[in-house]
């Protein structure tokens, strides 16, 4: 098994197979880490005196859904708390919040805008459904020109780092219509943090850390690691991104690879500003510095804050996400300029006051997309499968899925392996 993120941990738990992990801790992109106010070092655990913020590498990772079987599984590894989502679209230029899903809260728009949107949605409902080729066409066909100009087009342009009018439609459930409250209406989070949950799952697995696979010979079925060692496999389950696995194995497919986008996550601990909203996260289509989402960890749970509160309860832990084209990390000077611009903007909005700690993470493959009509994903998966490599998880299978689905998938694969 390659990778000890939540998919790999779940496979490892059920199959009792060896798990090889490049990092020195389990949890993958969901892993939490801790930082002291004024500090610059990432701690793997809460500071002994409790004086540390908790952040996550990929920004807030909330476990969505109500599946009782999954909740029972999680509770075997510690308590979880349940939350009802509080999120909104934040139109900064109009100084207006509209609750998510925007299309269900038209009464929160200016009345003439709301009337135009309602007329457009009614007209869309009467039209025959066509098959849109791109995500932009899909949103246009579903929400009409006014809502698209106000939110869907500028937001998605940012969220997809400019791929919006070239990629195939996907993840329809993220933009619900009618009475649906969306995929993330409720969520749970471990009382002790995701890092503790990951460590508890890891205790039931056989994991070797610091084992980065650097080459795979698919004919000889051997893996070479960065530490100079190698081993042979009969069946390999991999949660590494699909494109990276093709590179590692040297296998080729005839179609050109589907695109991905990267995410730059800025974790910030600060004293709260005067206009910090009470939402868990807000979607922002018009920030000047280019980010598209701000999540407020400490509005979900105060345990993200240092326990010793020296600021009269006025601290905030938050994350800011900005998308970039994949494989194109910003130059350090560009990163520095962005961090300055983003924090200036958060201050201007009144979200934060003085910053105690700020820490960026670059996630090179954060969102995976498909070109319209592409068969790359299926071809790549089959090509690897033919050499005994089964791709698993969100990045391995090049699909969108959250932690809950990743755990379910890992447990299913693990059970099949242990009985097969």
Ligand X SMILES: Cc1cc2nc3c(=O)[nH]c(=O)nc-3n(C[C@H](O)[C@H](O)[C@H](O)COP(=O)(O)OP(=O)(O)OC[C@H]3O[C@@H](n4cnc5c(N)ncnc54)[C@H](O)[C@@H]3O)c2cc1C
**Which residue ranges make up the site for ligand X (CB under 6 A)?**
2-8, 20-23, 28-30, 58-64, 212-213, 239-240, 263, 363, 366, 393-395, 401-404, 406
CB of 100 to ligand X, least distance (A): 14
- In Å, how far from its chain's centre is CA 133? 25
* One-letter-per-residue 3-state SS of 338-382: HHHHHHHHHHHCCCEEEEEEEEEEEEEEEEECCCCCCCHHHHHHH
Nearer to ligand X, 37 or 259 (CB): 259
Nearer to ligand X, 37 or 295 (CB): 295
Nearer to ligand X, 3 or 269 (CB): 3
CB of 174 to ligand X, least distance (A): 12
CB of 212 to ligand X, least distance (A): 4
Task: Tell me how far apart the alpha carbons of residues 47 and 26 are, in angstroms, rounded to a whole number.
Answer: 19
Residue found by looking up tokens 């969108």 in the block: 400
CB of 311 to ligand X, least distance (A): 27
CB of 71 to ligand X, least distance (A): 14
- Give per-residue burial for 378-394: e unless 16+ CB within 10 Å, then b: eebbebbeeeebbbbbb
CB of 408 to ligand X, least distance (A): 11
CB of 8 to ligand X, least distance (A): 5
Sheet with strand 222-225: strands edge to edge = 213-217, 222-225, 230-232
Nearer to ligand X, 143 or 159 (CB): 159
Nearer to ligand X, 7 or 135 (CB): 7
Nearer to ligand X, 147 or 240 (CB): 240
Nearer to ligand X, 6 or 283 (CB): 6
CB of 135 to ligand X, least distance (A): 17
289 in Cβ contact with 125 (< 8 Å) = no
Nearer to ligand X, 2 or 384 (CB): 2
């Amino acid at each position: 098994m390659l990778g000890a993120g939540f998919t790999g941990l779940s496979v490892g738990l059920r199959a009792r197979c060896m798990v090889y992990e490049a990092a020195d801790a389990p949890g993958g992109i969901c892993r939490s880490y801790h930082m002291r106010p004024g500090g610059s070092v990432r701690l793997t655990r809460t500071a002994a005196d409790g004086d540390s913020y908790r952040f996550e590498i990929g920004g807030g990772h909330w476990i969505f859904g109500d599946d009782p079987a999954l909740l029972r599984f999680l509770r075997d590894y510690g308590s979880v708390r349940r939350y009802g989502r509080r999120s909104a679209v934040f139109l900064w230029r109009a100084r207006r919040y509209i609750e998510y899903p925007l299309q269900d809260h038209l009464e929160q728009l200016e009345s003439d805008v709301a009337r135009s949107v309602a007329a457009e949605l009614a007209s869309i409902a009467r039209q025959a459904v066509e098959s849109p080729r791109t995500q932009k066409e899909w949103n246009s066909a579903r929400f009409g020109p006014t809502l698209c100009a106000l939110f869907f087009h500028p937001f998605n342009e940012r969220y997809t780092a400019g791929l919006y009018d070239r990629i195939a439609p996907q993840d329809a459930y993220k933009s619900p219509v009618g009475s649906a409250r969306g995929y993330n209406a409720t969520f749970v989070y471990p009382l002790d943090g995701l890092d503790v949950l990951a460590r508890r799952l890891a205790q039931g697995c056989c994991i070797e850390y610091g084992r980065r696979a650097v080459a795979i010979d698919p004919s000889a079925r051997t893996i070479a690691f960065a530490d100079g060692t190698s081993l042979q496999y009969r069946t390999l389950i991999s949660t590494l991104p699909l494109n990276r696995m093709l590179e590692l194995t040297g296998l080729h497919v005839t179609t050109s690879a589907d695109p991905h986008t990267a995410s730059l996550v800025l974790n910030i601990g600060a004293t709260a500003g005067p206009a910090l909203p009470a939402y868990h996260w807000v979607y922002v289509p018009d920030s000047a510095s280019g980010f598209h989402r701000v999540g407020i960890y400490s509005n979900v749970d105060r345990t993200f804050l240092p326990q010793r509160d020296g600021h009269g309860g006025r601290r905030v832990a938050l994350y800011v996400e900005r998308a970039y084209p994949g494989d194109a990390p910003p130059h350090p000077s560009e990163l520095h300029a962005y961090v300055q611009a983003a924090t200036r903007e958060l201050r201007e909005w009144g979200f934060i006051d003085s910053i105690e700690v700020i820490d960026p993470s670059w996630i090179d493959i954060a969102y995976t997309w498909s070109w319209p009509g592409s068969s790359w994903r299926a071809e790549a998966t089959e090509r690897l499968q033919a050499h005994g490599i089964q791709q698993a998880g969100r990045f391995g299978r090049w699909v969108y899925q959250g932690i809950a689905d990743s755990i379910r998938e890992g447990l299913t694969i693990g059970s099949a392996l242990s009985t097969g």
